[in-house]
Amino acid sequence: MTVGIEPHRTASADLHPVRHLDAFVVMARRSVIGFFRQPASWIFGAAFPLLIAAVSASAFARATSLQDFPDSRSFLQFLLAGTILQGTLFGSINASTDLALDIENGFMDRLLASPVSRVSILVSRLAGAATYGAGVTLFYVVVFRLFGAPVEGGIPGIVVMVVLAMVMAIGVGGYGAAVGLRTGSAEAVGNSFPLLFILLFISSAFFPVELMSGAYRRVAELNPITYVIDACRHQVLEGFSLGEAVVGLLVAVAFAASTIAFALLQLRRKLADVS
Amino acid sequence: MQRHFGEVEAVRRVDLEVSQGEIYGFLGPNGAGKSTTVRMLTTLLKPTAGRATVAGFDVATSAHQVRRRIGVALQDAAIDPLMTGNELLRLQATLHGIGRRAGRVRGAELLERVGLTEAGDRRVGTYSGGMRRRLDLALSLIHEPEVLFLDEPTTGLDPSSRQNLWSEVRRLNAEGTTVFLTTQYLEEADELAHRVGIIDGGLIVREGTPIALKEAVGSPTLRLDVLATDLDEARTVMAAFGEARPAREGRIAIGLENGANRLAEVVRALDERNIEVLTMELDAPSLDDVFADATGRRLEGADEQGEAGP
């Protein structure tokens, strides 16, 4: 059983060499453009953590006087790190639904039928999430500053937080991409979000681990998100710390590496039938 | 080639050869195996068995080389609605290694060619179905592919958009592009294809030039509607003039040797039996007749939709 299709031009000397870096950059650019052209998918995700922060800062204002509560100007200042992670998480899940949409609407096939690396196709799709992570971090820093909750670590501290947010955005995006590749459904990606939300609640996002007890505390101490939040929080409350930044970054990179590896596994599974 | 999905044999056996510079029409009803075949030929699906070469390269072992040489416009105009036409053309150009400036020039040429210059900076989500198809075609041509795959390119298009797309396919072919076109429209295959392969149930059941295929069917088809009470008697009368052909329930169809020359004879025979004729049509053989001859069924989407057996 054979099929043969002959081209008109038999010479291939005029073929353009594929530049993989350029291809990655244009696909990442598409991811960023597409993400920001759907404001409805991220504006609420960016605003919701601010509302939670406003309510919590008002309700728990006196919590800062508790013994073992970290030194801070206000509960709002304490909340900045958790709010950043929360906003990053919301936006990243939305960004990763775009990959599932590519599968649903067939655009993925167009990319797969072109001579570019499969890994590039996946990783470039997370560029929108990373850019959003950076943007939402800077936005929250400005808003909290306006309400009297500055970052004590100054510019270096803010840079650390931006980098951590970007890496975490890629990590969360990798998780969403894995779900999207596994199911091929944007809705399934959205529906997987509560799992991450629970992970955020069982961390130091909204309360210091030092004031937790029992099993809840043990889970929070094992939760990788706690380490990233604590690294950010150190920059906010105590000033810039390279050591804290490195610890947070290592955990964030490990988290991102594991979710992307999981997503690549799903991509490989999906492409098992592709030449 | 063969392709199975578990117990389902989507493509049971496809053997074909497309020559350089040819437009090959792959005609068949929904679910016949057309798109599965195209997905295998465009490296998007591995064959379960068999072998295929496109532009001289094996689709399974040299997929990357195949991808560099083919243009693909799949069934549902897979285009990101959030991007503009220009942005997508630049993306596609870069994916094929075309530099920024050359990509911009080539993109502008293609937009002009498919009549989308003015819409180039609009988001694709605002395009009509016809505009999306034309952009899809432009995207598949950005790297001047040696072989172009068009999977049901005119499905859902209005007649005017369909004519425009046909003109463009003819022009591309005249410039030297080999075209592999799947369609469920008889007229499309008849109009465009140099050769046609008819696929049904995952098998190629007929192959050849449209003229040769139609000639092989033989005589024109005479279709007759009579009162239900006269149906059996009319069938008996008609049987004397030619063999029964597939027709929808309540209608009679026969292959009438010498077509128009014998029409008066048929009318007289029916008149002698006092059979009232409601409608009578004489059609030269079409690709639908070829399909019916090969499968005993009419092709979905054809004029005689719903016909099933004599």
Contacts (Cβ under 8 Å, ≥6 apart) of B255: B217, B218, B219, B220, B221, B222, B242, B243, B245
Find chain B residues with C-beta within 8 A of A26's C-beta. Answer: 90-91, 94-95
What would the 3-class secondary structure string for B51-111 be? Answer: EEEECCEECCCCHHHHHHHEEEECCCCCCCCCCEHHHHHHHHHHHCCCCHHHHHHHHHHHH
- Using one digit for the tens of pLDDT, what is the confidence trace for A124-136? 888 888 888 999 9
Find chain B residues with C-beta within 8 A of A18's C-beta. Answer: 68, 95-97
- Using one digit for the tens of pLDDT, what is the confidence trace for A186-213? 888 888 888 888 889 899 999 898 888 8
pLDDT at A156: 96
Q: Using 50, 70 and 90 to split pLDDT, how confident is the model at B211?
A: confident
pTM of model > 0.95: no
- Using one digit for the tens of pLDDT, what is the confidence trace for B18-38? 999 999 999 988 889 999 999
pLDDT at A2: 61
% of chain A beyond a pLDDT of 70: 93
B7: region left, alpha or beta (phi > 0 left; psi from -120 to 50 alpha): alpha
CB count, 10 Å around CB of A62? 9
Cβ contact A22–B94 (<8 Å): yes
For an interface test with A, the pick among B37, B44, B141 (most A C-beta atoms closer than 10 Å) comes out as: B44
- Using one digit for the tens of pLDDT, what is the confidence trace for B249-307? 889 999 888 777 888 999 999 999 999 999 999 888 888 888 888 888 877 554 444 33
For an interface test with A, the pick among B14, B24, B43, B94 (most A C-beta atoms closer than 10 Å) comes out as: B94
Is B64 an interface residue toward A (CB < 8 Å)?
Answer: yes
Judge contact between B304 and B262, C-beta under 8 A: no
- Using one digit for the tens of pLDDT, what is the confidence trace for A74-116? 999 999 999 999 999 888 887 778 888 888 888 888 898 999 8
- Using one digit for the tens of pLDDT, what is the confidence trace for A65-76? 888 888 888 999
Chain A: give the shortest CA distance to residue B185, in Å. 22
- Using one digit for the tens of pLDDT, what is the confidence trace for B134-169? 899 899 999 989 999 999 888 877 888 888 889 989
Predicted-complex ipTM score: 0.78
Residue of chain B nearest A17, judged by CA positions:
B97
For range B1-20, the mean pLDDT: 91
Of B52, B53, B76, the CB nearest to A106: B76
Chain B: give the shortest CA distance to residue A151, in Å. 36
Q: Residues 150-209, chain B: which have Cβ within 8 Å of A?
A: 176-178, 180
Residue of chain B nearest A105, judged by CA positions:
B78
Is A273 an interface residue toward B (CB < 8 Å)?
Answer: yes
- Using one digit for the tens of pLDDT, what is the confidence trace for A147-157? 999 999 999 99
